Structures are given as C-alpha cells and as structure tokens.
Amino acid sequence: MQEKFNPINEKIIDSHLHIEGWEHEGKSFIEGFDDYIASMNINKINIASLPSGKRNVSNNIMIAFYKLVNENAFAHGGLVYPEYPIPEKLPEGMDFVTQYKELMEIGFDGMKMLEGKPNLHKLIGRDLNNKYFDEFYTELEKDKTHLLFHVNDPDEFWDETKVCQEHKDRGWFYGDGTYTSYEGIYEQIDEIMEKHPTLCVNFAHFYFKSKRPQDLEKMFEKYPNMGVDITPGGEMYLSFDDNYDYYRSFFIKYSERIQLGTDSTFPDGGEACKWLLDRVYRYIATDDSFKGFNNRIHKGFNLPKEAKENIIYKNFERTVGTEPKKINKEALKRYIEKYKHLMSDDENAKIQQLCEKYL
Ligand SMILES: [Zn+2]
C-alpha cells in the first residue's frame, strides 16, 4: 500500500460501513470510526445499520450516537423485527412505516436493508414484495429517501461444488432447498421496481450482476434513481478484469449510477478496512497495477475526472445529501425507551452510559 492514503486530500465518501461490536482492543466503536477516517484522510462516511438477524436494535442506536459525536457521518437506519419469521400481525407501533418515520426523525439519512441476503431472507420468512414492506417502499419513494439494499449473493452460493468452505462456514451455502432461489429473489425485486419505478435505491455489491451487466443496463434505462455500489465481494473485480474494456466504458457511461464503498465493519476493520478502500479507490481512480482480490494483479480504470468524482462522492451527495442530518436528541431518547426491551441488560447499560455522556 502507498505510504499515506489520499495524500492529495481528495473528497471521498465511503458509502457503506457497518458496526458489529462495541469495542475492540480497548478502542470503542466511536474511536474505531474516528481512526478509520483519520488514517484514510477521507472527510465523510456512511454507516449502514444492520439491526436484524444476529444483531438487534442497538445497531441503530450506536450509529445514532456516532452521528451525534461526528457530524461528518451519515447513517442509514434499519428495520427491527420483534420475532422471526415476521408475525402475521406486527406489534402495535412496529409496522415498518412507523419505524421508518422514527428513524428519519432521529436524523438518519437513509434506510439500509440486508433483508435480500438469502440467509436473512429465509429468517424473516416473508417475500420482499409483500404487503409488510410495500407501504414502506411507497413512503421511501414519495420522500425520495435513499435505500441501500443488499439483494442476493453470488450465484455460486447455491452450488455445492462451487461455494468455498469459508463461505459455507459462515452459513452462506443456499443450495439445500430451504432457501429462495437466486432467480426467485431477483423476481421479487423486479416486482418492487415495477411498482415503485422512481425508488431511490442503491443495490449493494453491484447487485451481484458482474457476470450479467446487461441486466443492470436494462434496469438503468428503466429506473432513473436506481444504482449500485462497488463494495467488494471481490468476485466483481475479477469480472471487471476479465472484461476490462467493456467495463471501463460501462463505468464511464453509467458513472452516475455507481457508488464507492468498502463494507468495512468495526471491529474486524483495522488494516483490512484500509486495504479495501485503497484497492477500490485505485481500481477507479488510478492506472496502477496492484495486487488485490484473490491475489490477482488488477489494472486500475483510471477513469476521467468527472466519472471518477461521480463514483467517489458526487452520487452519494446527489442521492443522500451533501451534509449529514443532525441528530434529534429527544427523538433518540424516545426511541431508546421504546425499544429497550429488545436489548440485553448489558447493552442497555452501555447505552445508558452513552446517554449520560452525550444526551
Ligand atoms: Zn454491507
């Protein structure tokens, strides 16, 4: 890696980060993000909440506190589930439109959904195009609120002969017949987009379409506010390498639809986060040859200035905003009070400490 990342103080927004834990090696999550920003010399970040599956509502709350501490942080909030699968009738006040409005009132800048990832999709036990979500999408579309949406995973994950052991160990083999198919998940999204064609949505990880970019081209033609991010999954960079000329033109032609992000997660971040941002940035902005995903030597696209700027920060500003929203402390207090029963005593104690310090 070069000595110092971003020595020319370029404007860069990492649009896709996560929080997994409270602290690591004596560093709080707050210090962890501060460190990432300072060491990479970037001015803004976006943290996407994942309050479902193995995590819970504390993810939204921690991120709100980080926004309170760092006014250069954007955040996407996530929906909270009282139980899995989603019950026939949601508890009073926990329907998704209410949850969305609460998060917007607190000061979140957009919404994040991981619900299209096949394992979480299976857990919630409801299609993404069903009535539970539909009013929520209607509100997002009406408000032009940005949605960062993880849908699907690489198609190898359904094929026992192709999925690697590491992914299997993480629970990402979906070919045992109990998961929705790769095509089936896309069909749900097609239906959502038909119904909400102006939804302002970015599909994470290139929508797992790096082997079928023509599908993306068709969607870009049809849906004016839809885009993708180039957050690894390293597999997409291998596809970019394999079709280098096509993809370099694609990135120029559709530069207004592509956003930079790393998917880095505190606390397994540290050097890995920095490595990721360095590689993604160099692929877009430089003509360097460098060792990257699967130990491949990649050659950067060295995109023209306008296309590069669109990808590294302008599209984010256009779709989410130029400045992060401020946190409404009273709304955050109400939210903590309302959802504290969904967190452990230990987490509630930690949140109490944050309340005393910052609210
Ligand atoms: Zn992610």
DSSP 8-class letter at 90: P
How far away, in angstroms, is 106 Cα from ligand 1 center?
22
Q: What is the mean pLDDT of residues 60-82?
A: 97
**Within 10 Å of residue 9's Cβ, how many Cβ atoms?**
9
b/e sequence 206-245, b meaning 16+ C-beta within 10 Å: bbbbbeebeebeebbeebebbbbbbbbbebbbbbbbeeee
Establish if 8 belongs to a structural domain.
Answer: no
Please determine, for residue 2, whether its predicted confidence score (pLDDT) is greater than 70.
Answer: no
Establish if 17 belongs to a structural domain.
Answer: yes
pLDDT tier for residue 120 given thresholds of 50, 70 and 90: very high
pLDDT tier for residue 191 given thresholds of 50, 70 and 90: very high
Query: Given this model, what pLDDT does residue 164 score?
Result: 86
How far away, in angstroms, is 18 Cα from ligand 1 center?
7
Contacts 24+ apart (CB under 8 A), 351-357: 351/58, 351/61, 354/61, 354/62, 354/65
How far away, in angstroms, is 356 Cα from ligand 1 center?
30
Tell me if 116 sits within 8 A of 207, measured CB to CB.
no
With vertex at residue 308, the alpha carbon angle to CA 306 and CA 311, rounded to the nearest 5 degrees, is: 110
Distance CA(46)–CA(37), nearest Å, equals 11
3-state helix, strand, coil in the chain (%, to 5): 50, 15, 35
Structural domains counted in the chain = 1
Establish if 7 belongs to a structural domain.
Answer: no
In terms of Cβ atoms closer than 10 Å to its own Cβ (0-12, 13-18, 19+), residue 97 is middle
H-state helical runs in the chain = 29-40, 58-69, 96-106, 118-124, 131-143, 165-169, 182-195, 213-222, 235-242, 244-253, 271-285, 305-309, 315-319, 329-339, 345-358
How far away, in angstroms, is 87 Cα from ligand 1 center?
26
pLDDT above 90 coverage of the chain, percent: 85
pLDDT tier for residue 1 given thresholds of 50, 70 and 90: very low
Establish if 169 belongs to a structural domain.
Answer: yes
Average pLDDT, rounded, for the chain: 95
Establish if 341 belongs to a structural domain.
Answer: yes
How far away, in angstroms, is 16 Cα from ligand 1 center?
6
**Within 10 Å of residue 325's Cβ, how many Cβ atoms?**
18
Q: Which carries the bigger pLDDT value, residue 265 or residue 258?
A: 258
pLDDT above 70 coverage of the chain, percent: 98
In terms of Cβ atoms closer than 10 Å to its own Cβ (0-12, 13-18, 19+), residue 25 is exposed
Domain of residue 310, CATH code: 3.20.20.140
How far away, in angstroms, is 17 Cα from ligand 1 center?
6
- Alpha-carbon dihedral angle through residues 134, 137, 143, 144, given to the nearest 10 degrees: -150
Tell me if 324 sits within 8 A of 44, measured CB to CB.
yes
Query: Given this model, what pLDDT does residue 7 score?
Result: 84
Answering whether pTM is above 0.75, one says: yes
Range of the domain at 304: 13-358
Please determine, for residue 89, whether its predicted confidence score (pLDDT) is greater than 60.
Answer: yes
Establish if 247 belongs to a structural domain.
Answer: yes
How far away, in angstroms, is 114 Cα from ligand 1 center?
8
Tell me if 115 sits within 8 A of 148, measured CB to CB.
no
pLDDT tier for residue 307 given thresholds of 50, 70 and 90: very high
Interval 161-179: pLDDT, tens: 998 888 888 888 999 999 9
Establish if 276 belongs to a structural domain.
Answer: yes
Establish if 134 belongs to a structural domain.
Answer: yes
